[in-house]
A and B are shown apart, each in its own frame.
Chain A
Amino acid sequence: MASELDIRNLMAKRAAREIVGGMVVNLGIGIPSLVPNHLPETTKVMFHAENGILGMGPSPGSGLEDGNLCNAGGYPVTIVPGASYCDSVTAFGMIRRGRIDVSILGSLQVSRQGDLANWIIPGKKVPGMGGAMDLASKAKKLIVLMSHTDKKGNPKILEQCTLPLTATRCVDMIITDKAVFEIKNCELVLMEYFSTTSVSRITAQTACRFSVSEDLKVIEV
C-alpha cells in the first residue's frame, strides 16, 4: 500500500512542476488533489473551484471544517488571503473565457491525439461530466494524471478512446505512474519516465505509437 501512495505523490509532485507563481489552477478529484502539497510555499497560486471559490487553501484541521466552505467534490477546504467567492455561473465564466492556466484532471482513457474520455462507462459507471467538458476544452493547459493501465492491466493511452469522449484534442500532457508524455500538434511524445521502468516496457503498456523525445529524461522528483 505504501508504494502505491508513494507513486501517487510522485505523480503529483511531477505535476506540481508545471505550476508557476501567479497561475490560476483547477484541480480534479483523486491524485490531482495531492498537487498543492508539492508546491513550494513561495509559489503563490490561486486555486479555482467550480462551485465558486477562487483562492482555495488546504484542508482544515480536524474539527475546524465548515459545511459551507467546501470544494467541488463536497469536501472541506480553507481559503487563502486574496480569495473570493462567486456563484457557479461566474466560476464557469472564468473557465470558458480561458482564464484557467492549468487544469489537472484524472482520466479513464486518453488518445494519441489528446482526446479525453473521463466521464462515463456506459452501463456501469455514470458519474456525468460535471465540469470536465468545460475545463477540458477551455483551460490553457490540460494535464491528465492517471495510472498508465487500468486495474486489469489494459493500456489507458490508446490510438482511439473506446469510451465516450469528454472532449477532443484537449490534453497537453499525460503524467502516469510510468511516464510523462506531451501531446504536441496531435502527436504523442514520450518526454520522461520513472526509473522503475523502461522505454520498451512503456511501449508494451501503451496501445498506440508515440515518438521519443531527443531530450528523454528519467523523472526527477
Chain B
Amino acid sequence: MIEIENPFGKIATLEQALAFFKEEMTVMFGGFGGVGSPPNLIEGILAKEIKNLTLIGNDTGFPNIGIGKLVSQGRAKKVIASHIGSNPIAGKLMNQGVLEVEFSPQGTLVERIRAGGMGLGAILTDVGLDNTSVTKGKQQMELNGRSYLVETALTAEVSIVYAEKADPYGNLVYDKSARNTNPLVAMAGDFTIAEVKEIVPLGGLDPEEIVTPGIFVDMVILSNGVNWKWVWEEN
C-alpha cells in the first residue's frame, strides 16, 4: 500500500464531503441511468436527510439506482433532466405536483451544463425549435439567416461525479461508458466532489490520458463502490 500524499488538501473523507450539503441546495450529478453516478455520496446525502434539493443531471436513474434513490425518497423539490422514465416514482411525484420537473432535450442539457462549466451564459441550438414544450418561455433569435433557441447555461452549488482514478490534484480518469456526463458536470459545480475507485500518487496518471484536469475538482473521496443492484442483476 503506497502512502498517498495530500499536498493540495483535496483528498478527504465521505464525512468531510457531506458537510457541504444542506437543504435547498442545487446539486448537479454525473451519471446516465445510474451508470457513473457516485454511490457513496448519494447514500450519504440520503442518510443525512437533506431535503428540498434541486437536482440537475441526465435522468432520475432507477428507483433504487443512482440519483433515483434521492428522487424516489422525496428529497428533491425540483429536477432538471432529460428523462425520468426509468424511475416511475419520479413520474408519479411529478403528476402529484410534489416534484417539479424541467425537461431539456438530452443534447441540449449536457451542452447547457458544459456551457456553465466553461463560463458561458448560454448556447444557441435549433433542436426543439419546432416544439412548443421546449421553446416555452425561451428567447429565440436569428443569426446568419437561421433561427435558434437560446438555452441558458447551468451551474450548481455542488457537483458530484464518479471517476475511475484520481490523483491528489483531482485529475480524473473515467471508465468506459461511466464517463458519460461526468466530465461536464465536474466543470459546472461551484464546488466539485469526485468519488473515485482509486487514488493514485501525483504523477501516477499520464497527462495525455487525463479527461478532467484537477483544476475543476475541489475534493476527492475514495469510493466503496456501487451499493445497488443493477437492473439486469435483478432478473
In the complex, per-residue mask of A29-51: 1 if CB is within 8 Å of any chain B CB, else 0? 00000000000000000000111
Do the beta carbons of B176 and A85 come within 8 Å of each other?
A: yes
On chain A, the residues within 8 Å of B164 by CB distance are: 68
Do the beta carbons of B184 and A88 come within 8 Å of each other?
A: yes
List CB contacts (< 8 Å) of A126-166 with chain B: 126-134, 137-138, 164-166
In Å, the complex CA distance between A86 and B180 comes to 7
List CB contacts (< 8 Å) of B181-234 with chain A: 181-184, 211, 226, 230-233
On chain A, the residues within 8 Å of B103 by CB distance are: 128-129
B interface size (C-beta, 8 A): 54
A interface size (C-beta, 8 A): 46
B144 interface contact, C-beta 8 A: no
Q: Which of B9-17, B42-50, B126-134 contacts A (4 or more CB under 8 A)?
A: B126-134
In Å, the complex CA distance between A221 and B179 comes to 39
Do the beta carbons of B32 and A51 come within 8 Å of each other?
A: yes
Q: Closest chain A residue to B107 by CB distance? A: A92
B110 interface contact, C-beta 8 A: yes
In Å, the complex CA distance between A165 and B131 comes to 7
On chain A, the residues within 8 Å of B28 by CB distance are: none
Do the beta carbons of B62 and A74 come within 8 Å of each other?
A: yes
B121 interface contact, C-beta 8 A: no
Q: Which of A66, A69, A75, A133 has most chain B Cβ within 10 Å?
A: A133
B95 interface contact, C-beta 8 A: yes
On chain B, the residues within 8 Å of A128 by CB distance are: 59, 81-85, 101, 103
B178 interface contact, C-beta 8 A: yes
Do the beta carbons of B127 and A137 come within 8 Å of each other?
A: yes
Q: Closest chain A residue to B230 by CB distance? A: A67
In Å, the complex CA distance between A64 and B183 comes to 27
In Å, the complex CA distance between A93 and B182 comes to 16
B140 interface contact, C-beta 8 A: no
Q: Which of B19-27, B33-41, B152-160 contacts A (4 or more CB under 8 A)?
A: B33-41
On chain A, the residues within 8 Å of B52 by CB distance are: none
For A52, give its contact among B95, B180, B230 (CB under 8 Å): B180
Tell me the minimal C-beta distance from A186 to chain B in angstroms. Answer: 14
On chain B, the residues within 8 Å of A206 by CB distance are: none
On chain B, the residues within 8 Å of A95 by CB distance are: 107
B64 interface contact, C-beta 8 A: no
In the complex, per-residue mask of A79-96: 1 if CB is within 8 Å of any chain B CB, else 0? 000000111110011011
List CB contacts (< 8 Å) of B42-77 with chain A: 58-59, 62, 65
A219 interface contact, C-beta 8 A: no
Do the beta carbons of A129 and B106 come within 8 Å of each other?
A: yes
Do the beta carbons of A89 and B127 come within 8 Å of each other?
A: no
For A65, give its contact among B108, B174, B230 (CB under 8 Å): B230
Q: Closest chain A residue to B90 by CB distance? A: A126
On chain B, the residues within 8 Å of A168 by CB distance are: 130-131
Q: Which of A69, A73, A137 has most chain B Cβ within 10 Å?
A: A137
16 contacts between A and B (CB under 8 A): A51-B33, A51-B177, A52-B177, A52-B180, A74-B33, A74-B231, A75-B232, A87-B182, A87-B183, A88-B32, A128-B59, A130-B83, A131-B105, A137-B127, A165-B131, A168-B130
Give the top 5 A-B pairs by smallest Cβ distance, nearest first: A127-B85, A74-B33, A92-B107, A68-B178, A134-B107
